[in-house]
Homo-oligomer: A and B are copies of this chain.
Amino acid sequence: MCDVNVYILKDGAEELYFENVDTIKPEQGKIYLKNLFGEQKVLEGNIKEIALLKHRIVLEKK
């Protein structure tokens, strides 16, 4: 499976935010996330790093 876990960078540390994420859409300063089970989350922030072999995406909160 090609799913990833999404972490948020907070005070220099990474915090797990959302697991098994399938789609990510940045739009007007917000990031829309959907996981394999159809659950959704929205966050104000930016994508900081995507590392697919490590199954991780790091976001930075605004």
Interface residues of A (CB under 8 A from B): 1-4, 21-26, 36, 46-53, 55, 57
Contact = CB atoms under 8 A, between A and B. Distances in A.
A43 to B, nearest CB: 14
Number of copies: 2
A4 B48 contact: no
A3 B52 CA distance: 6
Nearest to A46: B26
Given A23-B51, A25-B50, 14 more contacts: A2-B3, A21-B52, A23-B49, A23-B50, A23-B53, A24-B47, A24-B49, A24-B50, A25-B48, A26-B46, A26-B47, A47-B47, A50-B50, A52-B52
7 contacts: A1-B2, A2-B3, A23-B50, A23-B52, A25-B48, A26-B47, A52-B52
